[in-house]
Structure 1
Amino acid sequence: MSTYNGGEYLAEQLQSIADQTHQDWRVIISDDGSSDNTLTIARQFQLKWGSDRLQIRQGPQQGFCLNFLSMACDATIYADFYAFSDQDDVWMADKLERAIAYFNDNNESQLPRAYGSRTQIVDEALNPVGFSPEFTLPRSFRNALVQSIAGGNTMMFNQAAKSLMEQAGLQKVVAHDWWLYQLVKGAGGIFYYDPKPALFYRQHTHSVIGANTSLKARIERIFFVFNDRFKIWNNLNYTALCNNRHLLTKDNQDVLDVFGKFRGAKLKDRIRLLEVCGLYRQTWRGTLSLWLATIINKI
């Protein structure tokens, strides 16, 4: 769990972990320099649960992504499975049980495997607002290059996936969840997307990342293409993947190479190479924005 000035909702999130039907867990909180009562609340739960169940450490104070990666890349943290947790959500009681059941039913321990799900979007008072999109297209490296499909707050992954992140090390990427999706699929692993929501995803004025389901958010994502945001994101992730191409399968190394060529090509070649590369997003709106970004050279 990455925390930063999350005292307003932290107790509810921690209590939802305590209320899980699966009880074999421990929590590591990496705090990024909170100035509110976040650490006070965390220490209260540590006293209640014991330091063996709740560890508190100091984060790198370079943003939420590196805070999460500082834990995911730490080889001294070892468990059967790992889950990212935000500080302000509320987990459904069977969140861990359902994810672990998936892993136990698909127990190839050497294969990098990750799990993510939809979310029930709620307001500050936990009143239902809607659901995150349900994605139905295949989860692949060709998709992962241009889209993150599940929030980190829903994700669980096995030791083989964590070993990938450890080998990659602390990279400057857009987000820890997108990076996990790219690494797992790039290395030939499995990413399972559960269409059933696993948590209440709270939207409030201090949310670091929103649910991006409103009309306003969809319009803003289109403008990301025009203001270079999408291109900047791709620059970061592409560089990190190139730094770790040895972790990718040969086929996905080839896809990454075509992706690099296509980003710097002339218009007619970009359109051709986009088809050769086989990139796609999970919705028609996303695919439309991908083609738009290709045409105006903003990818």
Structure 2
Amino acid sequence: MSFTTDATLFTFEGKLIKLTHDSTETKTKMNVNVYLPKQYETSSEKTIPVLLYLSGLTCTPNNASEKAFWQPFADQYGFAVVFPDTSPRGAAIEGEDESWDFGSGAGFYVDATVEKWAKNYRMYSYVHGELQEKLQIEFPKLDFSTISITGHSMGGYGALSGFFKNPNKYKSVSAFAPICNPIECQWGQKNFGGYLGEDKSAWAAYDPTELISKYEGSEIPEILIHTGTADPFYHRDAQLLPENLVAASKGTKFEGKVSSNLVEGYDHSYYFISSFVGQHAAYHAKYLGLSK
């Protein structure tokens, strides 16, 4: 079997399955959580659409599973939710556990090219390729050809980047407090420089603000973003830069389609995320063909 089931938890009206598997991309064991909505067991429908949720710096698959509250909305509309890990774990690379915002828990959803990291830190190929292919075999009722993507912070960046780099693969994309222009912020510069080296063209190949004008897909959904005005990474540290993505959308296929919402008083935490999950679930359900 590709996966080992570590736990099966009944929650709301479905089941959260905690899994471990050996990854060919990262050359490590990887953890992933999958929420199967009530329709997985009860619906006469042959397939269940999927929402891929990418978490932020330091997170494991458990954070969003426990604190975002996707489950009741997944049950309401009938989609599964996949929660990957944010990096390889235990790759035995010198220095991988020295910093909270680089290395373990901070894979930044790229395929590293710097030699030290290139063998294991292949989160882009893992998330958008290997993991989905293996889960399709493990859960044949899930429909990975009808999939949308979302995420928070580093995961919001990963969702936007993955959407733009895979035209027509994802039906829709949304993000909570995403890092929209990593080339221009400290987190992005640290991770891109560490994993990809000094060639800025390699950085641009993952930066949503750089990628939006290069998107060649025929399907142009609205992009839904929420960011809190009390988020210190927005108002103090300038890590998120959603305005840069909106500005870059002008003159592109996405002009007028980036719905970037600044919400008064909210911070960067899961209190913020869980407050707007319902809006994001309704948005994705529409593009997944589950509502009008």
TM-score by length of 2: 0.29
TM-score by length of 1: 0.29
Please identify which structure carries the higher helix content: 1
- More relative contact order in 1 or in 2 (CA 8 Å, sep 6+)? 1
Please identify which structure carries the higher strand content: 2
